[in-house]
A and B are shown apart, each in its own frame.
Chain A
Amino acid sequence: MESRYQATVLLAEDDPDDVLLTQIAFEKARLANPLMVVRDGEEAIAYLKGEGIYKNRDKYPLPILVLLDLKMPKLTGFQVLEWLQKQSNLSHIPVAVMTSSDSDPDVNRAYDLGASSYLVKPPDAGTLLALVQRLHAYWLILDQKSVSMAA
């Protein structure tokens, strides 16, 4: 099992500005964890499946945490959650929805589909940095992870 301090975080996010802001926040927070980015729901599933280029698990390790946008092209965050629910070998990976939507139906539906957590994208870089630090302190340090069981 890889050291949690090097463990990968997978960001599924289609908006390039939001990707950049998150990458900057990870850097500012001095996180050692590699942040891998996928740009739509299909790519997210391919990554988690280890399909195509993602078969190379040295280059694309299974993540220890998934940050999942909801509104993405090809497949939405909800569709990714639906797919994940059926993968018994991936059910140990916590998925935190990270989206601009704070609508009640979206929140409730995310939990129905097995999201571990639901976060609303903060409006400014300062609050995003604080959120990334909280994500780190909770998911990457405190929370206990099981050994990866996937292919």
Chain B
Amino acid sequence: MPKKVLIAEDDASDIFLLQRAFAVAKVPATLHVVRDGQEAIDYLEGEASYSDRKTYPLPDLMLLDLKMPRLNGFDVLKWLRKKPGLKRLLVTVLTSSDHPTDINHAYDLGANSYLLKPHGSSDLAELIRRVQIYWLESNHCATSFVE
């Protein structure tokens, strides 16, 4: 059964690069994309258009950008870790920011991991490959997101 990855990213070219990186790294995962923090929350809540869990399943892993319109990555983390059950979701921050305050803040708010967006496309494919190997193969994720 292929794994499901939810990408929360507002920049269209970054989305394209990520999707290509998954393809180049030959990661057997289905990708869903949300374009800002509010859409990420709606998706995870199964709100409105996302209520169909067959089409919009809960992911095995979320790659979360920090700087997004409406609600940012920190807002999503803050919201998520308060939700019983759903808080077990794996969230890796994937951002261009290497500021220690952002890194600290993300971990304080419960990010499982924090990754820097690399500049080269082959570096991005390698990052995605390591994400797959670690989070989607080795790591055991929660089996239920209901308390």
Whether A100 is near chain B, meaning CB under 8 Å from some CB there, is no
Whether B103 is near chain A, meaning CB under 8 Å from some CB there, is yes
Q: Complex formed: what's the CA distance from A100 to B139 in Å?
A: 13
* Contact between A108 and B142, CB atoms less than 8 A apart: yes
* Contact between A134 and B134, CB atoms less than 8 A apart: yes
Q: Which of A94, A104, A116, A145 has the most CB of B within 10 A?
A: A116
Rounded to whole Å, the gap between the CB of B94 and the closest CB of chain A is 10
Rounded to whole Å, the gap between the CB of B144 and the closest CB of chain A is 6
* B contact residues, total (Cβ < 8 Å): 26
Q: Complex formed: what's the CA distance from A147 to B103 in Å?
A: 9
Rounded to whole Å, the gap between the CB of B5 and the closest CB of chain A is 16
Of chain B, the residue at the smallest CB distance from A122 is B138
Given A137-B130, A149-B104, verify A108-B88 contact (CB < 8 Å): yes
Q: Which of B103, B127, B131 has the most CB of A within 10 A?
A: B103
Contacting B at CB under 8 A, from A59-106, are 88, 91-92, 94, 102, 104
* Contact between B138 and A107, CB atoms less than 8 A apart: no
Rounded to whole Å, the gap between the CB of B62 and the closest CB of chain A is 14
* Contact between A142 and B130, CB atoms less than 8 A apart: yes
Q: Complex formed: what's the CA distance from A80 to B144 in Å?
A: 23
Whether A18 is near chain B, meaning CB under 8 Å from some CB there, is no
Q: Complex formed: what's the CA distance from A146 to B113 in Å?
A: 11
Residues of A within 8 A of B32 (CB): none
Whether A5 is near chain B, meaning CB under 8 Å from some CB there, is no
Whether A119 is near chain B, meaning CB under 8 Å from some CB there, is yes
Q: Complex formed: what's the CA distance from A63 to B127 in Å?
A: 23
Rounded to whole Å, the gap between the CB of B27 and the closest CB of chain A is 15
Of chain A, the residue at the smallest CB distance from B107 is A92
Of chain B, the residue at the smallest CB distance from A107 is B140
Whether A144 is near chain B, meaning CB under 8 Å from some CB there, is yes
Q: Complex formed: what's the CA distance from A91 to B77 in Å?
A: 14
Of chain A, the residue at the smallest CB distance from B140 is A118
Whether A117 is near chain B, meaning CB under 8 Å from some CB there, is yes
Q: Which residues of B contact A (CB under 8 A)?
A: 87-88, 98, 100, 103-104, 107-108, 110, 112-116, 127, 130-131, 133-134, 138-144
Add 15 more A-B contacts to A111-B141, A116-B113 (CB < 8 A): A91-B107, A92-B103, A94-B107, A104-B143, A104-B144, A107-B141, A108-B143, A116-B112, A118-B140, A119-B138, A134-B133, A135-B134, A138-B134, A143-B115, A145-B103
Q: Which residues of A contact B (CB under 8 A)?
A: 88, 91-92, 94, 102, 104, 107-108, 111-112, 114, 116-120, 131, 134-135, 137-138, 142-147, 149
A-B contact pairs, 11 of them (CB 8 A): A107-B142, A111-B141, A112-B88, A118-B139, A119-B138, A144-B103, A144-B116, A145-B103, A146-B103, A146-B104, A147-B104
Q: 4 nearest interchain CB pairs?
A: A111-B88, A138-B134, A92-B107, A146-B104
